[in-house]
């Protein structure tokens, strides 16, 4: 975060974007710890002020925050993700007219690239890794889906051949057949559940991949994607 702040301080938005460190201690800053009523501490708050100074009672322009949440939670992880700050800062600058939010798509992309170009190289690599990891995850999921479909077809073929869901009276007395059929039916349902979950997860990642690629290319315009 220190490196990210340093790069903003020398970038095109140095006059608009500043980073401050405030100690979150109810004895030192009771207004932050108590009065603002954040559900989780620590919290990182982002604001916009035309004067370039912290918000006042006359202009309480609190625009966004990143709460830590519980240990190990997704919220806590976001506090350590520089991309989260860049996204929120970009949104605020766009809302107040410093980055085009309308007009040509090319103008918007150039402004966004200009903002993201001042990221830490480690952040750039992080965004590339996120994009590549999502591609590798998709590949693995698609292979898994193919395997599960084959397993499901095989299990259903066996169940249908022995009519496990409607055993003939003569076979119902054979405990070995009954037990095997029950196991096969349970296996079929388990595979079907796993297949459905894998397909749903694949669809979710497929929706995120284009956004991950866009962010990686914006942050690293001079680097080729290694995946």
Please state the domain extents for the chain: 2-119, 122-219
Strand partners, 80: none
% of residues, the chain, pLDDT over 70: 63
225 contact partners, CB below 8 Å, separation of at least 6: 128, 131, 132, 213, 216, 217
142 in Cβ contact with 202 (< 8 Å)? yes
Confidence grade of residue 108 (pLDDT, cut at 50, 70, 90): very low
Span 22-47, average pLDDT: 63
Tokens of 222: 């001079």
CA distance 152 to 124: 42
Confidence grade of residue 140 (pLDDT, cut at 50, 70, 90): very high
Record the pTM. 0.49
| Exposed / middle / buried, residue 68 (Cβ in 10 Å: 0-12, 13-18, 19+) | buried
219 in Cβ contact with 119 (< 8 Å)? yes
| Residue entry with tokens 């995946």 | 227
């Amino acid at each position: 975060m220190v490196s990210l702040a340093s790069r903003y301080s020398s970038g095109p938005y140095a006059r608009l974007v500043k980073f401050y460190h405030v100690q979150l201690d109810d004895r030192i800053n009771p207004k932050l710890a108590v009065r603002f009523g954040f559900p989780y501490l620590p919290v990182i708050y982002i604001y916009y002020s035309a004067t370039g100074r912290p918000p006042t009672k006359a202009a309480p322009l609190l625009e966004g925050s990143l709460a830590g949440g519980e240990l190990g939670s997704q919220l806590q992880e976001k506090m350590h993700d520089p991309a989260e700050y860049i996204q929120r800062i970009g949104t605020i600058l766009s809302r107040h007219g410093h980055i085009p939010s309308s007009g040509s798509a090319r103008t918007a992309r150039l402004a966004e690239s200009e903002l993201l170009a001042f990221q830490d190289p480690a952040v750039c690599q992080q965004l590339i890794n996120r994009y590549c990891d999502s591609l590798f995850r998709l590949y693995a999921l698609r292979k898994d889906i193919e395997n599960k479909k084959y397993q499901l077809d095989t299990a259903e073929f066996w169940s249908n051949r022995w009519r496990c869901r409607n055993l003939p009276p003569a076979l119902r007395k054979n405990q070995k057949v009954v037990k095997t059929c029950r196991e096969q039916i349970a296996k079929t349902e388990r595979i079907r559940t796993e297949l459905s979950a894998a397909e749903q997860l694949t669809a979710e990642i497929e929706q995120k991949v284009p956004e991950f690629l866009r962010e990686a290319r914006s942050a690293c315009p001079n680097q080729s994607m290694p995946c």
